[in-house]
Chain A
Amino acid sequence: MWDVEIRGMASAHAIIAASIFMATIMPAVLVEKFSVYGTHLVWLYSVAGSVAVVNIAVFWLLGISPPTKKNTLSYKLSKLFRSCVYFLLSCLFFHTVVVLYGAPLLESALETFSLAVLLSTFTTLRCLCILGPNVQAWIRVFSRDGAMSVWDTSLQITTGCSVVGAWLGAFPIPLDWDRPWQVWPISCSLGTTIGFLTGLLTAPLWIRWHRKQLTYKLK
């Protein structure tokens, strides 16, 4: 059973990772004068969009989402609405944090917000997909020993990796190398993406490696 779940997760992660690569390649074909540094926001939103779409599709197909008690349309709609609100709130939250970290307040607010959107896509959206708009469940997963399934653990790992990636990505900005990737927010968004990819890669490996130690409480 373990192996099946891990294999499933690995393939899901592979698909998500592939979507990131596709999102990098596709605009190069479709958009004129596309470059990751030059037209960075295009790249950023294409990655964010494709990851969002693929995430939702994969988790919907796999049926990982928590079982719903009610199956009415209005309930589903309100759930969808709440998810959207949460996503927006998390974008604002990331935006605030990034500004507190020293991003300019007024100028290049669009870039800062785009970074916040990217971060939210990599973290909050996955939470929404796997756990649903349920704050209690989020707190449970992100407190210690709170993971109840392999998916929870993978969520912990990818989220942590993305945030740490963004954090590390900020380091080269003050250096005076005058490289194109030192422009705000390129290094941070690249760091986030690389962190996320690392998270996707490590999560199945880590879980496989530690499967003896991991004991999940029953739901």
Chain B
Amino acid sequence: MADKSQVCSVWVGSETGILKGVSLSKKQAFNFCEMSCLSRDQEVCVLGWGDEHETEVLVGSVNGTVKTFSTEKGIFTETRQCGESTQGRFTGIAVTDSALITCVETGLLRVWKEGSTDTVEINAGTNVCRMRQNPSQRNQVATGGKENGLKVWDLERPETPIFTSKNVRNDWLDLRVPEWVRDMSFIPDSDKIVTCTGHHQVRVYDPASPQRRPVLEAHFGEYPLTALSLPANQDSVVVGNTHGELAILDLRKGLVRGCLKGLAGGVRGLQCHPSLPLVATCGLDRFLRVHSLEDRSLQHKVYLKSRLNCVLLSSKDLELSSSAVTGDVEEVKEEGGEVDEVWDTMEMINDQAKKRATDEEEAVVTGVEKTTKKRKVVK
């Protein structure tokens, strides 16, 4: 179990309560659960990293329990009861300095401190859809929901939010524009927050500016946007909607830069890789897909049998460079050789042999390359 979980680079939570780990380099998916005690009330609502080194995954379920899964040991190490199912589903989970922050749909945001049973509670309004933590300032969290605008809270001052957004002006018929914040994200290196709404709008708020209304508004599609993520190093944002349409929007002008194809069901979870131009999506069509952001092509597609709720990407390199290949190449170089041409040819042959070996490993799950190979065999 431990070696399986150490290889996994993508973690997915499903509606059946199973935590699935996917290793894209080995093209295999593993279920981490006990098959005997599965039930629908253990449905995974949120996934989060338990620590900065990404060795622990926090799994929040519908019945109010938060389980800690250790990626090194491959087992669930801890279970905490953080509320009941009557209080609503978890909409966000985060960790600061040994304290666990959870938020539920009814708006109750709680900070559970290690060791003590009392919690700091904040009422974030009703119908909260999402809670996210600021990655650079760990004590700031943002919440938003249906008819509940974006609010940024500082956990040290739990009474009032440090930023409350204001709804846009009435539209051309002088009617109030309905508000429905589905997901938000903090833009790194600045104070800004980008949100996506159930009315197919993407808005950028700037707490540093005097206006509380959105600084930028963009539209995409005709269906509610359910998930949002920021890729590394670019001022763009990737959004997904309930029809399975994924788009990359440019935040400078608010235009659609391109769409990612392949999804057939509503997007439930979306995350961009912290350093590589990759984005992982999971949704109701029971597939995990990894697209490349540069050429918008599908890199990996994994069938995971249950409807998927949330996805978590690790920061390590997802691609083919498994540790075995790099180790052997280094050994060849160390053995020494004066004739570079001979050494070059030898290395190339070794690499090809290794690549053939990795391809022939049995795959539970097929990547894009694997499907083409299978087609040739069938014909």
Partners in one complex: no
Binding site for B on A (CB under 8 A): none
